C-alpha cells in the first residue's frame, strides 16, 4: 500500500563546529546477508541518476563492475567512472527499482537523483521545518498538491 512519508533533514557536523542541514531520505536497500540496510541519501533534484560510493555495492551484495560502465560529472566537473545497476529499494512501505551508479570514489556522497523516483512521488520540501515529504502519486496528498498547483 502506498503511503506518504515525511523525512527530517539530514545533519552534517563540519570542522570548527559548523552544522549543515540538507534534504534527505532514508531508503532501505537489500543487505548482502539478508534483511535490509538503511542509507541516508541527499535529495538532489539537479541529479538525474542516484549515486552511491562503490564501497556500498559490497554492503548490498552487488559487484559494482558487473554493471554498465559510465562516466559521471563530479562536483568540480571532473568525470568519475561508475557502474549503473537497478536496485530494489524500499521507502517506508513503498517499493521501487532505483537506477543507481556506484562511483569509483570512496568519498562520494550518497545522492538520490530524479530517475526512478520523481515520476513516482510528489516531493515537497519544507525548508522552514527542515523536512521533506514523499507523496506517492496515487495518494490523496499528492493529488491535493497537484490540484493546488493546477489552480495557480
4-24 per-position pLDDT tens digit: 999 999 998 888 888 899 999
Residue given cell 502519486 in the structure block:
137
pLDDT digits (tens, 9 = 90+) for 129-145: 999 999 999 999 999 99
CA dist., res. 13 & res. 40, Å (int): 15
pLDDT band at 1 (very low <50, low <70, confident <90, very high): low
Please give the pLDDT value at position 12. 87
**CATH classification number, 5-150, choose in 3.40.50.300, 1.10.3470.10, 3.30.70.1150, 2.40.70.10:** 2.40.70.10
Residues forming a β-bridge with 72: 80
CA dist., res. 111 & res. 103, Å (int): 11
Q: Which three cell numbers stand for residue 38?
A: 538503511
Segments making up each domain of the chain, as ranges? 5-150
CA dist., res. 125 & res. 71, Å (int): 30
Residue given cell 515529504 in the structure block:
133
Please give the pLDDT value at position 103. 96
**Under 8 Å CB-to-CB from 24, ≥6 apart: which residues?**
7, 8, 9, 10, 40, 41, 42, 43, 132
pLDDT at position 61 over 90: yes
Whole-structure pTM value: 0.91
pLDDT digits (tens, 9 = 90+) for 66-117: 999 999 887 677 889 999 999 999 998 899 999 999 999 888 899 999 999 9
Amino acid at each position: 500500500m502506498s503511503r506518504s512519508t515525511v523525512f527530517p533533514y539530514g545533519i552534517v557536523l563540519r570542522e570548527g563546529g559548523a552544522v549543515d542541514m540538507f534534504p534527505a531520505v532514508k531508503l532501505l536497500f537489500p543487505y548482502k546477508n539478508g534483511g535490509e540496510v538503511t542509507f541516508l541519501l541527499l535529495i538532489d533534484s539537479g541529479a538525474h541518476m542516484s549515486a552511491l560510493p562503490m564501497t556500498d555495492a559490497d554492503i548490498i551484495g552487488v559487484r559494482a563492475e558487473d554493471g554498465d560502465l559510465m562516466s559521471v560529472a563530479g562536483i568540480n566537473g571532473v568525470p568519475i567512472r561508475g557502474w549503473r545497476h537497478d536496485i530494489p529499494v524500499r521507502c517506508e512501505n513503498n517499493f521501487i527499482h532505483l537506477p543507481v551508479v556506484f562511483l569509483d570514489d570512496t568519498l562520494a556522497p550518497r545522492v538520490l537523483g530524479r530517475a526512478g523516483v520523481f515520476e513516482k512521488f510528489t516531493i515537497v520540501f519544507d525548508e522552514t521545518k527542515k523536512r521533506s515529504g514523499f507523496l506517492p502519486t496515487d495518494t490523496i496528498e499528492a493529488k491535493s498538491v497537484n490540484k493546488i498547483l493546477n489552480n495557480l
